[in-house]
Amino acid sequence: MTTTPPPATAEVVETTTAALAARVEERRLRRGLSPRTAFLLRRLGRLVVSLAVVIIASFLLMYLVPGDPVRAALGQSATPQLVEATRTQLGLDRPMGEQFVRFIGGLLTGDLGTSVRLQRPVADVIAQRFPTTLLLAVLAFVIAVIAALPAGIGAAVLARSGRRRGLSITLSAVLGILIAVPSFLVAVALISLFAVQLGWLPAAGWGQPADAVLPVIALAIGPMAYLVRIVQVEMLAVLDTTYMTTARAKRLPRRLVYLRHALPNIVTASLTVGGLILAGLTAATVLIETVFAIPGLGTIMVSSVGAKDYPMVQGVVIVYALIVLGVNLVVDVILATIDPRSSITEG
Amino acid sequence: MSARKKLLNPTSVAALVGSALLLFLALAGPSIWGPAADTTDVSSRLLGASAAHPFGTDELGRDILARVLTATRLTLLLTLGSTLIALAGGVVFGLVASILPKHPRRLFTGLLDILLAFPWLLMVLFFTVIWGATATGAMLAIGFAGVPSFARLVYNLASSVSGRDYVRAARVVGVGPVGILLRHVLPNIANPFFVNAAATASVTLLSFAGLSFLGLGVQAPAYDWGRMLQEGILRIYINPLAAVGPGIAIVLAGLVFTLVSEAVAGTRGAGFRAVAARAAGAVTLASRRRESVRDSAAPVGDTAAEITDLHIAFRDADGGVVERVRGVDLRIARGEIVGIVGESGSGKSLTAMALAGLLGDDAVVTTASHRFDDIDMAGALTASDRARLGVELGMVFQDPLTSLNPALTIGRQLTEVPEVHMGMRPRAARARAADALTAVGIPDAATRLTQYPHEFSGGMRQRAMIGMALTGAPRLIIADEPTTALDVTVQRQVMGVLHRAQEETGAAIVFISHDIALVSAFCDRVIVMKDGRMVETLDAERIREDAQHPYTKALIACLPDMTSDRTQPLPVIPPELVPEALDDAGPVGVRQPSGASAHDQEVPV
């Protein structure tokens, strides 16, 4: 049975929500901003604050580490001279305020400092590895979206209003498992099947196109299952709306009913979730790169955390944060551009 | 649901068995399999799966299965530690935030939202840098990285409760914020709290496995499942089970936590109950379908639409079938305006939707005959039937805020019928849509067509819906409570527009409402429905005089007029007429002689 509230309640809720949205919109119009501009300004404001939080947090990293970060990075066997030299090199002997100004100045000029372990500029290392990580995340994302949209819509249409209970129960069980199993375990399963048992694909490495197949699939499966579920749930809700009854009352061909009347109404939710997924994928690359020994940002992050190479960690953290925040901003801009409604006028 | 029933469903049983197994392994595992797990045997190192070593051995010849079982304790202890940190931090921050004054509260939740924008794993890695790549460091890192999301959850739960009436009431009588928190908020968020706590434990377990797998969690010689996975994957070509074994353990333990969460949440109608429901539903369907073939050749004549012996049923949660409309006969003459009145749940809207052939697949509909003009609606519709229905049958729904598609322009929605069914070119269809908008009294139609529904007021949207019906060539317009969601002055406008539309097109109208005054003023004929039956059909002009059925009389008596005694309380529907008390009374037919003794009782007002 459905979990939707009885119609009367739903109508009341919808009416009040619409009334609220209208009021918010009105207030904004009085201020002389279009809802779209106000929405984008608000989101831009949030981006700036988020970025500030990340930058300050990564600057403070050195101070949050218990004990002497330089000693920790170089290990107990390092000579006091080396420790002092490194401290000077990192600028840690200066007053905190001056360090912060230098840190910000460096960020603005693209200078992220020097890796203690590799003795190379952090920016160079990141520039060298960034494309690999980006390729993995974007490929996985594209595959997840392309597979999930038709699957989710199809599942919703087939299982509408309690039809085909067997199918929908099986589907939700399978999706539930795929969502719950973390990508690195999926990777292990994929390797043992396709690389070890069948020998079709390489188990690890990076250099030829075949190397990317298993990592991308391992990355894509979880987000894809999640997106199928979201699209299915959204589509089921849309199929139950009065405007879909209106469309059916016009006796339009199915193609028009689903593509023209239903699809645009699930785009907002799907895009929002899509943004979250892409952001989540960047994090999942850390694990997947380690499983498949891929020289990306994730592997350098992990080895730098292990080696307490703080400048490197700071740089990678900021780059990851920029990716996540950038994805969110892009999603917001797309939402504000394509969504005619007041879903962008949330408080 | 009773506590016993709650414990006996498959989810709860699986959750209990799984938890018991995990608990047993955590308590007894190290003492039973610990020796085998730590016994090194160089002669049998790196073996594959065998009877003696089901998962094979590692590079020191230790049995991997024994190590997986022994590792349960450490894995679960670390998971428990992290989960407790996340829960404790979340509860403290979330509850404190919920009793903060407005501005600090908004600052606080804003900060939480910023932190939540970052994937959990990135925060874990950041914290791991601070606390170091050790088991304790990883436990702290995962726990603290989980605080923001749990704090947001607790805050949301607490503020949803604190807005409720009983909390407001407590505040009014002077209970302080801490008292409200302890006495009213906490007990009411307990269930969702535990559901999410179990879910958090599941996520924590997987994160810990990930961190140990990255080599940033548990360090040798200690080992948890994640650490074993890391060691195993290096030798995956020699012995896949060395990696897959710990992987399975992680997935199963995660599943147990998820099941616990599911069981605490209460049951969803999956599994056995669904099977039972399907069996029961199928039986009822088969027996009802047999009745539906008779009297298929009804005269067409001057009938706009007709439906006879309409039954509508729905499956309920326990697998039974609830009949909501029980044998309705409805015939609409050409150009006739028929009103259907009745309270919520009387089946009037369902009847209208069935007449239009628009009920979903969840409704079990049976009819003796069902025609629209000369189209047999009970049979399969041809493409040309569908086109005619699109053009000739208009619908207007109750809530104009939801009946227009928010993602499409008004123009797009009003040109569809002319374009798809009448073969018009876009330009001609647009002109027709503009005419329709003008006809329903919306000025500047050309501009209005380019706008979206949210740019229209409620009354304008309802007029646009009527205009949508006018873009075709309506023979019948079904208006399902078209004015209920509108305020009184707008109501009058919409009724006027509907009336004009009827006069201009000669379409019949089925007008559904719970407002008997509105219906009798607007319609030629009034049908009164109650509990899924038509209890009476009346001439609208003589409704006060002719009403026979006690329910109709009670409805009419409830209408205040200029002569109402204002010193008396307003009349209400008497209780014996409210539920299914009338089931035995049966409907009053149109031409049935009045005064059947069962209906003679005086309605106290």
Q: What is the ipTM of this complex?
A: 0.77
Per-residue confidence (pLDDT) for residue B84, from 0 to 100: 93
Our separate counts of H helices and E strands in chain A read 14, 0
Helix, strand, or coil here: B331?
strand
Q: Least CB-CB distance to A15: which of B133, B214, B485?
A: B485
What residues have CB less than 8 Å from A329, skipping those under 6 apart? Answer: A43, A44, A47
As beta bridge partners, residue B57 has B63
Highest mean pLDDT among A141-145, A261-265, B216-220, B372-376: A141-145
- Rounded Cα–Cα distance for residues B347 and B480 (Å): 12
Mean pLDDT, rounded, for B517-527: 86
Q: Is 50 exceeded by the pLDDT of residue B360?
A: yes
Q: Is the pLDDT score of B200 beyond 60?
A: yes
Note the pLDDT of residue B85.
Answer: 93
Least confident of A293-307, B5-19, B442-456: B5-19
Q: Which has the minimum average pLDDT: B63-67, B491-495, B555-559? A: B555-559
Instruction: Name which of B469, B310, B490, B346 is nearest B397 in CA terms.
Output: B469
51-70 of A, contacting B, C-beta below 8 A: 53-54, 57-58, 61, 64-66
Distance CA B287, CA B362 (A): 17
Rounded average pLDDT over B234-239: 77
Q: Give the Cα separation of A238 and B492 in Å (integer).
A: 31
Q: What is residue A222's predicted lDDT score, i.e. its pLDDT? A: 83
Q: What's the confidence (pLDDT) of residue B44?
A: 72
Contacts of B394 in chain A (CB under 8 A): 249
Among B16-20, B40-44, B191-195, B357-361, name the most confident range: B16-20
Using the beta-carbon criterion (under 8 Å), do A162 and B315 form an inter-chain contact? yes
Q: Which of B399, B342, B514 is nearest to A13 (CA)?
A: B399
**What is the separation, in whole angstroms, between the first and last Cα of chain B?**
40
Q: Which of A252-261, B16-25, B293-302 has the lowest mean pLDDT?
A: B293-302
For residues B141 and B127, give the distance between their C-alpha atoms in angstroms, rounded to a whole number.
5
Question: Residue A125 to residues A115, A121, A131, A304, A307: CA-CA distances in angstroms?
Answer: 9, 7, 11, 12, 16
Whole-structure pTM value: 0.70
The three-point CA angle B201-B144-B77 to 5° equals 40
Distance of alpha carbon B457 from alpha carbon B441, whole angstroms? 13
CB atoms within 10 A of CB B274: 18
Say whether A31 sits in a helix, a strand or coil: coil
Residue of A nearest to B243 (CA): A188
Q: DSSP of B339-385, one letter per residue? A: EEE--TTSSHHHHHHHHHT---TTEEEE-SEEEETTEETTSPPPHHH
Distance between first and last Cα of chain A? 33
Interface contact B399-A321, CB threshold 8 A: no
CA separation, residue A204 to residues A139, B277, B424, B437 (Å): 18, 49, 60, 65
pLDDT band with cut points at 50, 70 and 90 for residue B178: confident
Percent of chain B exceeding pLDDT 70 equals: 81
Q: Taking residues B91-108, what's their average pLDDT?
A: 83
Sign, CA dihedral A231-A236-A239-A243, equals negative
Q: Does A199 touch chain B (CB under 8 A)?
A: no
Q: Are residues A340 and B390, on separate chains, in Cβ contact within 8 Å?
A: no
Q: Do β-strands B375-376 and B369-372 pair in parallel, antiparallel, or remain unpaired? A: antiparallel
Q: What is the pLDDT of residue B584?
A: 43
Residue tagged 């009588």 (tokens): B173
What is the spatial distance between Cα B547 and Cα B553, in angstroms, rounded to a whole number? 6
Q: How far is CA A5 from CA A16, B268, B342, in A?
A: 15, 15, 22
**What average pLDDT does the structure give for chain B?**
77
C-alpha of A110 from chain center: 24
Which among B237, B387, B406 has CB closest to A251?
Answer: B387
Q: Note whether B250 contacts A: Cβ–Cβ < 8 A.
A: yes
**Rounded Cα–Cα distance for residues B311 and B291 (Å):** 11
Nearest CA in chain B to A302: B214
Q: What is the pLDDT of residue B470?
A: 86
User: What's the pLDDT score for residue B559?
Assistant: 67
Amino acid present at B367: T
- Mutation choice for B interface testing from A42, A185, A276, A327 by most B CBs within 10 A: A185
Q: Which two tokens stand for residue B298?
A: 């009804």
- Residues B522-532: what's their mean pLDDT? 87
Closest-CA residue to A231 (of A256, A262, A261): A262
Among chain A residues, the shortest Cα distance to B124 is held by: A283
Q: Of the ranges A175-189, B43-57, B287-301, B559-573, which one carries the lowest mean pLDDT score?
A: B287-301
- The contacts of residue B65 (CB under 8 Å, 6+ apart) are B33, B53, B54, B55, B245
Tokens coding B108: 């606080």
Give the span between the Cα atoms of B405 and A242, in whole angstroms: 9
Q: Rounded to an integer, what distance in angstroms lies between the CA atom of residue B229 and that of residue B245?
A: 8
The nearest alpha carbon in chain B to A49 belongs to B114
Q: What span, in angstroms and rounded, lies between the C-alpha atoms of B463 and A264?
A: 24
| CA pair distance B35, B70, nearest whole angstrom | 9
Concatenating the DSSP letter of every residue in B64-121 gives HHHHHHHHHHHHHHHHHHHHHHHHHHHHHHHHHHHHS-HHHHHHHHHHHHHHHTS-HH
* CB proximity under 8 Å: A 10-49 to B: 11, 14-15, 18, 46, 49
Query: Which residues, 6 or more positions from B418, have their beta carbon under 8 angstroms from its beta carbon?
Result: B424, B428, B429, B432, B433, B471, B472
Q: Which residue has the higher pLDDT, B484 or B6?
A: B484
Say if the Cβ atoms of B361 and A162 lie within 8 Å. yes
Cross-chain residue pair A61–B130, CB shorter than 8 Å: yes
SS3 B497: helix
B483 touches chain A (CB under 8 A): no
Query: Is B236 in Cβ contact with A192 (below 8 Å)?
Result: yes
Per DSSP, the three-state class of B450 is coil
Give residue B568's pLDDT. 64
pLDDT tens for A102-115 read 888 888 888 888 88
The residue ranking higher by pLDDT, A263 or B293, is A263
Contacts of A197 in chain B (CB under 8 A): 240
Q: Which residue of A has its CA nearest to B317?
A: A1
Closest CA of chain B from A284, distance in Å? 8
Angstrom distance (rounded) from CA B391 to CA B470: 9
Q: Which two tokens stand for residue B569?
A: 């309380």
Query: How far are the Cα atoms of A35, B13, B272, B315 from residue B276, in angstroms, in the given order?
Result: 51, 19, 6, 12
- Higher confidence at residue B372 or residue B119? B372
Q: What percent of chain B has pLDDT over 90?
A: 4
C-alpha–C-alpha distance, residues B458 and B487, integer Å: 9
Q: Is B216 on the interface with A (CB under 8 A)?
A: yes
CB contact under 8 A, B421 and A251: yes
Q: Classify residue A141 by burial, with Cβ atoms within 10 Å: 0-12, 13-18, 19+.
A: buried
Cβ of residue A243 closer than 8 Å to a chain B Cβ: yes
Chain-centre distance for alpha carbon B562: 44
Residues of chain A whose pLDDT is less than 50?
1-15, 342-347
